[in-house]
Structure 1
Amino acid sequence: MSDYLWFERIAFFALGFEKEILEEIGDMFVIRDEDTVILTYPKSGTNWLIETVCLIQTKGNPKWIQAVPIWECSPWVETQIKYQILINQEGPWLISSHLPFNLSPKSFFSSKGKMIYVIRNPRDVLVSDYFFFHKTILHTRAWLSMREMDNFLLLSYEDLKQDTRGTIEKVSDFLGKNLEKDELDLVLK
């Protein structure tokens, strides 16, 4: 048995991914206007941003993010199990995805849902990726073409690291969540 599922010349781990689900996501999955989608290349700060957005949504209250596994707070749409949860769950959704631009749901491009894309210095990604994946390569370059859209926020991992407060304020503003100073401090903490 192969460790990878190849779909559209991209390798996915065989465990948790199915060709039929990946095809269905692209053609039929609907991102609603009230949804938020976190898009990243693997090893680019996905979990960090998920936790930050969850804390922004709860005005800094950590109870939810501490009580629920991160993959349940923001399920990855491309995985078989999480996809089934998403299509059977009430919204609004906080969704994560490592899908390359060309495999993303077509509804991304017509929805007014909020999309946040984090980029990271490729050298740092390679080092992190080397220790985590070793072989998996996914494409991200096409996502940059979305950066001029009003409902798309482009962040960099380096900005998250160097100016965490400023980035949290930027994400909060983008999501239309006005945090008081003490709430912002809780998210930052």
Structure 2
Amino acid sequence: MLYVFCRYCIMEDLETDLLKFKGFYVHHKAFDNDFLENLDDFEIRDDDIFVVTYPKSGTIWAQQILSLIYFEEHRKRTENLETIHRVPFLEYSSGHIDFGKRPSPRLFVTHLPYYLVPRGLKDKKAKIVYIYRNPKDVMCSCFHYVNTYPIFKAVDTIEAFMKQFLEGKVVGGLWFDHVRGWYEHRNNFNIQFMMYEEMKKDLRSSVLKLCKFLGEDLSEETLDGVVKQASFENMKDDPLANNESTLYRNFGPKLREGHFLRKGTALWKI
């Protein structure tokens, strides 16, 4: 499952849990060699939409926002389908979803670096939204995440995890390389960068910015509904958007009280 991709393993022997694939750290148990080796040839449609993030940078939030923009049945709650199925992970859904049969526009999320995504994205027709977040908040979110679910090896202190994070020895690799790589190669793609902190500060303006890039013209009423349902507090209580059910199915009961969507705060003020 895609969530295995988010295992930030902190074992002393990294080789037992992490595998470096073309310079990018993945979890060896989740590694699908055939899929990743052939991902370069994945057929891209002109109207495909990809959200790219470093883990814990607003991925689940983006799934909810796109679901609200594109699916009226999601906004009106007339269909009981989780956002992870509406906007699946590219690299972790290949065995469960036939992407070729999905209607357009196809929506995806991914944590992949710029050099591992399908080459068809470089024709600049399909659209990419890259969401980046202050690395201090990313690291803090990752730390609490691995200490919540029993499938992960717990980390005693934030200092211990910080060392691992700053060395890039986590799934996703080095935060700085991921963000810099996409930004430095932005001219190769049809890409819109969005800052997590700006989204927190003014979600309405951020949704409007996103809709303009995607070519979606929402009515004022629809826009109001998207912004309201995509607020952190509403997402936290929404079983179709907060990933609690999916995490339970794959990871089992949590080690401690709390929610997958913990605080969603932005310590870095803009």
Equivalent position of 2:48 in the other structure:
35
3-state SS of 2:38 partner:
helix
Is contact 2:89–2:108 with CA below 8 Å preserved after alignment?
A: yes
Consecutive unaligned residues in structure 2, runs of 5 or more: 1-14, 147-160, 162-169, 229-270
Moved more, 115-124 or 103-112: 103-112
CA 1:99 to 1:67, structure 2 compared with 1: closer, same or farther past 3 Å?
A: same
Do the aligned residues in 2 keep the contact of 1:16 with 1:80 (CA within 8 Å)? no
Do structure 1's residue 6 and structure 2's residue 20 form an aligned pair?
Answer: yes
Cα distance in 2 between the residues matched to 1:148 and 1:93: 23
Which residue of structure 2 lines up, in the alignment, with residue 73 of structure 1? Answer: 86
Q: Partner of 1:186 in structure 2? A: 225
2:60 counterpart of 1:25: no
The correspondence for 1:102, drawn from 111, 115, 140, is: 115
Q: CA deviation at 1:123?
A: 1.1
What secondary structure sits across from 1:75 in the alignment? Answer: coil
State the shift of 1:180 in Å: 1.2
**Matched-pair contact (CA < 8 Å) for 2:124–2:189:** no
Q: Select between 154-163 and 69-78 the one with higher mean Cα deviation.
A: 69-78
Q: Does 1:176 align with 2:215?
A: yes
Structure 2 residue matching 1:54: 3-state secondary structure: helix
Q: Which residue of 2 aligns with 1:136?
A: 171
What's the secondary structure of 2:25's corresponding residue?
A: strand
1:186 to 1:52, Cα distance in 2 relative to 1, 3 A: same
- Which blocks of at least 5 consecutive residues in structure 1 are unaligned? none
- In the aligned structure 1, how far is the partner of 2:56 from the partner of 2:78? 20
- Structure 1 residue matching 2:45: 3-state secondary structure: coil
Q: Deviation at 1:175? A: 1.0
Distance 1:31 1:123 in 2: 34
1:126 and 2:161 are equivalent in the alignment: no
**1:145 counterpart (167, 178, 184):** 184
In the TM superposition, what is the alpha-carbon distance from 1:65 to its structure 2 partner? 9.4
For residue 98 of structure 2, give the secondary structure of its aligned residue in structure 1: helix
**For the residues of structure 2 that align with 1:17 and 1:25, how far apart are their CA atoms?**
13
Aligned equivalents of 1:156 and 1:181: distance in 2?
A: 23
For 1:171, give the aligned amino acid: L
How many angstroms apart in 1 are the aligned matches of 2:196 and 2:120? 26
Q: 1:64 Cα shift?
A: 6.3
Distance of 1:83 and 1:74 partners within structure 2: 13
Q: What is the TM-score of this pair, normalised by structure 1?
A: 0.86
Tell me which moved more, 30-39 or 83-92: 83-92
Call closer, same or farther: CA 1:48–1:175 in 2, change over 3 Å: same
Q: 1:119 to 1:65 in 2, by over 3 A?
A: farther
For structure 1, which segment, 132-141 or 108-117, has the greater mean C-alpha deviation from structure 2 after superposition? 132-141
For normalisation by structure 2, the TM-score amounts to 0.62
My pick for the range that moved more, 137-146 or 153-162, is 137-146
Q: Which structure has the larger Rg?
A: 2
Measured at CA, do residues 137 and 176 of structure 1 come closer, stay the same or move farther in structure 2, by a change above 3 Å? closer
Q: Which amino acid letter does the alignment assign opposite residue 143 of structure 1?
A: W
The offset of 1:168, in angstroms, is 0.5
Give the secondary-structure state (helix, strand or coil) at the position aligned to 2:192.
strand
Q: How many residues end up aligned between the 2 structures?
A: 188
Q: Distance in 1 between matches of 2:35 and 2:172?
A: 19
Partner AA of 1:136 in structure 2: V
